[in-house]
Amino acid sequence: MGRDRAGRGGSKMGALGRVGAVSGDLIPRDGAGQGGRRVGTAPPGAAPSLWGRRARLPAPPRGGPGLQPGVPFARSPRAQAMAASLSRPCFISLHVPYRQRWAQDLAASFRFHPVAMRETPQVRQLALRRGAAVFLLNQRLAPSRAPSPDFLYDMDPQPALGTASNVCFEVEDVPGLCERLRGRGCSVPVPPTEVSDEGGSVTYGVVKSMVGNISHTLLDRSRYQGPFLPGFQPVRGAPHEAGDGVEITNFDHITYVCPRGGARAALDWYQRCFGFQRFLLSPQERLAEGYVLGGQGVGMLLLALQSAQGSSGPSCKLVLAESLSKDSPNQVDTFLAQHGGAGIQHVGLCTPDIVSTTRALQQAGVRFFVPPTTYYSQLGKEEEIRGAGQDPRTLAELGILLDTTVPGENKRPCTDGTESPSRNYLMQIFTHPIFSEETFFLELIDRRGAPGFGEGNIRALWKAVQVYMDQRQ
């Protein structure tokens, strides 16, 4: 296993803040480490850990395996023999092209706060956080076509364009997991490596996914007491989150775009190698067929998986999308063409207050897809929104989508003869693409007891994106 004594560069960051001692907590420790390990308090004078506190989330709905959307099926013997068992993501890596300023956009517009930075003569890596959602932005400092070996805790993806390409998971035995994954035929481009500084040491390795340019960093930081990771310095003067109207708690799900015929292969790979479990996206989904959207210009297959629910926090949901359209190219085909192959299409960010968060982000300049006007005027939609306790006019004004698990099923009569709001529904809204290509975007999702994804919302998003693409052409 390799060893690396992390360097401690000290460059300025302009509007994003400055590297140096950090005042106040990044996220105070609560004594519970990921992966079920206990983590002690930081040494005297050390900044509290970025990873310590986790958002309090509602418990997942109970029910028989496979009987409800969003509830994973019992593990098959094949899944139980997986090489690795993963829980929630630690961070998601974004690779930003040379001279693009998306780090400033993520901080200024999306209200993610810079918390730690690392810089070499060739690359800059910046960690930005909101709640428990952490993005690691990787950027070259000079133009180059060759892959750079300078990115720590990641690998340089190909093609070299704006892309979300790495989902990091915290695990307990990096060398053992990497060895078992090699035995399953997986590529491990970064073998187990130990990195240390005055805060302790971590061990990590990078495993290549079978989907496009996606990779997974496996990280053991049980021996580290620093604020982020060895080699990074905390950013001084990072703004506090309170008072800006934005409430984002954690990553909800990650959606991959796969080539035709690739979604089922990816499903099998994540079950076999990482122990993910299949779950239904909608009551209309059939297990053998997957969730198929057809008609009215829509042709798409969706499959969903979920990592094991552990004591370290919420599980990781993956949604696999594959185009089935036989007509003109659609948004899934456009992603594959402009991204240069399969990859991460969007990341869902959990919020407990999507109305206030959307307003704040719109005021900061974030642009969202506008649903077709027929979404809010379709038969029964206004009643469905009111039955969920929401205001149809407000949602239409902001462009927020709402779907109940089964419209009207969960309403209960109140003592005054009216109906109480449905308890199982979700609300969603989606940003425009982040990079210059029509590829990666973000989603806000507010879950009110609904674990899956509504069919009406999926169709509305499809139509909104198609209208946007037609206007761009």
291 with 165, same domain? no
216: Cβ contacts below 8 Å, ≥ 6 apart: 166, 167, 168, 169, 206, 207, 209, 274
In a domain, 66, yes or no: no
Beta bridge partners of 429: 444
Q: Under a CB-based contact definition with an 8 Å cutoff, are residues 473 and 317 in contact?
A: no
272 and 203 belong to one structural domain: no
Indicate if 316 and 459 belong to the same structural domain: yes
**Do both 229 and 178 map to the same domain?**
yes
Q: How far apart are CA 114 and CA 103, in angstroms?
A: 9
State the chain's mean pLDDT as an integer: 79
**What kind and span of H or E run contains 306?**
strand 298-306
Q: What is the pLDDT of residues 376-416, one digit of tens each?
A: 988 899 999 999 999 999 999 999 999 987 544 444 444 44
460 versus 317: the higher-pLDDT residue is 317
CA angle (27, 31, 34) in 5-degree steps: 80
Handedness of CA 48, 50, 51, 56 (dihedral sign): positive
399 and 298 within one domain: yes
What is d(CA 176, CA 324) in angstroms, rounded to the nearest whole number?
Answer: 39
Shared domain for 115 and 213, answered yes or no, is yes
Contact 246, 357 (CB under 8 A): yes
Cα torsion for 426, 368, 331, 336, to the nearest 10°?
-100
Q: What is the pLDDT of residue 48?
A: 52
- Considering 7-21, 31-45, 279-293, the range whose residues carry the highest mean pLDDT is 279-293
Residue listed under structure tokens 């060893």: 3
Same domain, 362 and 328: yes
Question: What does the alpha-carbon distance between residue 369 and residue 400 come to, in Å, rounded to a whole number?
Answer: 9
Q: Could you tell me if residue 60 is inside a domain?
A: no
In a domain, 280, yes or no: yes
| 222 lies in the same domain as 270 | no
In a domain, 412, yes or no: yes
Q: Is there a domain that residue 68 lies in?
A: no
Which tokens hold the place of 153?
A: 């805790």
- Residue 320 tokens, joined: 């696999």
More confident residue, 183 or 325: 183
**In CATH, what number is assigned to the domain containing residue 339?**
3.10.180.10
- 67 part of a folded domain: no
Q: What is the pLDDT of residues 222-253, one digit of tens each?
A: 999 998 999 999 998 766 666 789 999 999 99
- The total number of structural domains that make up the chain: 2
Residues 208 and 321 in one domain: no
What are the tokens at 287? 């297990």
Q: Return the higher-pLDDT residue of 180 and 451.
A: 180
Q: Is residue 70 part of a domain?
A: no
Each residue's pLDDT tens digit, 338-359:
999 999 999 999 999 999 999 9
Tell me whether residue 441 is in a domain: yes
What the block records as the tokens of 384 is 């469905």
**How many helices (H) and strands (E) would you count in the chain?**
10, 20
What per-residue string of b and e applies to 281-293 under the rule 16 or more CB within 10 Å gives b? bbeebeeeebbeb
Tell me the pLDDT tens digit for each residue of 126-141: 999 999 999 999 998 8
Domain that holds residue 359: 250-472
Shared domain for 415 and 388, answered yes or no, is yes
CA proximity to 280, closest of 75, 72, 461: 72
Q: Dig out the tokens for 11 from the structure.
A: 């460059």
